[in-house]
Structure 1
Amino acid sequence: MMDSNIVIKVTDATVRFNKATESYNGLKEYVIKMLKGELMFQEFLALKDVNLEIRKGESWGLIGTNGSGKSTLLKLICGILKPYKGRVEVKGSIAPLIELGAGFDPELTARENIYLNGAVLGHKKAFMQQHFNEIIEFAELEEFIDVPLKNFSSGMAARLGFAIATIVKPDILIVDEVLAVGDAAFQEKCKKRMEKMLEGGTTLLFVSHSIEQVKELCKNIVWIDKGNVRACGKAEDIIPLYD
């Protein structure tokens, strides 16, 4: 059983993917080889024996180069991926902002996507109606309410996603690089909202290639390199090692 203050516990977690070792000329060849048992794969370990304990109200930054395993770890914590080995325990509600556009339908308008994404996050229609104007105002999309999302810029979509995900105070907020597409003013707006949520006891997991953003928001750091945790601890101790 987890300590009552621990909201995320990752124990000896390994994530394995299979990479094709040869290319195939279309779906037909792939299916034929699959039926014959001739598909060749190479094992790839995206995360290797990761151990991590995160307590309620803590702020953690995940740092590392592209492909190091940061997003894989977040997806493991969200339950999108299951560990090949090991265990992941999570206590409380999660608001995930992992992939730009996740939970949105590009053919639907901003208005329609607010209710769709709210349903994905488990909110009832009445709740979304109650907070509709607040979401639109925070996302600064008053003039685009009935425009299909496919016509939005990536920054506009990110603003809408963040506004919906943070309309309530989740136990755990997970943010993975999606704010990088927003302008400086909106990033500052999001930073203030996340700081307010941290003050209210929300736990934050934050991924950014901007070490300055990580320093501003996170008191703790996990440095992941090629699927391995290179270092884990207080930000002031880990960031100099990474730099």
Structure 2
Amino acid sequence: MIKVENVSMCYRMSYDRVQSVKEFLVRKMQGKMKYEEFWALKDVSFTVKKGEVFGIIGNNGAGKSTMLKVISGILKPTGGQVACQGNVVPMLELGSGFDIDLTGRENIYLNGAILGNSKEFLDQKYPEILEFSELGKFIDVPIRNYSSGMLMRLAFSIATVVEPEILIVDEILAVGDAAFQEKSRQRMRELMSGGTTVLFVSHSLEQIRQMCDRVLWLEHGEMRMLGATQAVCDAYSAEG
């Protein structure tokens, strides 16, 4: 379902304190802009099979979220390529694709449309999305008034009820109260058993051990280890 071949991602960072676009253009033309290259990913390759739950672990700054954004199509890699077979639903940043001035109900249709679903399909799924989100009467309140937990419940409900072929999750199960976290994990298990391919990033090794078939360990943007969940998690834990 997913094939990542020799993917690298380089950012050019400037430490000059430029105060305006004019100053930036002048400095650039004079050759005075100083850049430093930062490689977030270096020559990463792996494949994910249909129905597999694939975990990515590593310390902060290891390149995990960058890898998910490249696979989602949000970022274009500096080198290498990614191929995905099936519709991809990324759950990377809470509320991305939402309009804060619209209500929860309106955002269900907006976000659902962004994910490629028809109004008829969303009409059919709306009661299920509302029930799962547990938002009740708040569904008709503008989401600018939502807490982060409410926003997460709405985003998770839309993404998982529409049954994606490929689901990309970045730490989202760590947000919200304990009861909803357990409900989310159960929903993820249902998707997995139904054949959805899942890419899952978490700092919780317990969640990774429970949910993933294979794991990739990234370190400073490079592949440190790829293999069976328990073996990779044990090696990662041993390094503390």
> Is the TM-score greater than 0.5?
yes
The alpha carbon displacement at 1:29 in A equals 2.5
1:94-128 deviation line (CA, Å, top 9, x unaligned): 11101111110111110111111011001111211
The answer as to whether partners of 2:165 and 2:197 remain within 8 angstroms in 1 is yes
The answer as to whether partners of 2:173 and 2:185 remain within 8 angstroms in 1 is no
Secondary structure at the aligned position of 1:238 is classed as helix
Report % sequence identity. Answer: 51
Q: Are positions 1:44 and 2:38 aligned together?
A: yes
1:46-105 deviation line (CA, Å, top 9, x unaligned): 100001111111111111111110011111111111121112111111111011111101
Match of residue 79 from structure 2: 85
**Residue 62 of structure 2: which of 60, 68, 85 is its match?**
68
Secondary structure at the aligned position of 1:145 is classed as helix
CA distance in 1, matches of 2:137, 2:147: 14
Match for 1:240: what amino acid?
A: D
1:133-159 deviation line (CA, Å, top 9, x unaligned): 111110000120111111111111011
Match of residue 113 from structure 1: 107
- 1:122-133 aligned at under 5 Å gives the runs 122-133=116-127
CA distance in 2, matches of 1:155, 1:224: 29
| Runs of 4+ with >6 A deviation | none
The alpha carbon displacement at 1:227 in A equals 0.3
Match of residue 103 from structure 1: 97
Match of residue 4 from structure 1: none
Match of residue 15 from structure 1: 9
Task: Report the TM-score, using the length of structure 2 for normalisation.
Answer: 0.94
Q: How many residues align?
A: 237
The answer as to whether partners of 2:100 and 2:144 remain within 8 angstroms in 1 is yes
* Structure 2 residue ranges without an equivalent (≥5): none
Cα distance change of structure 1 residues 125 and 36 upon mapping to structure 2, 3 Å threshold: farther
The alpha carbon displacement at 1:180 in A equals 1.8
The answer as to whether partners of 2:125 and 2:162 remain within 8 angstroms in 1 is no
CA distance in 2, matches of 1:129, 1:34: 52
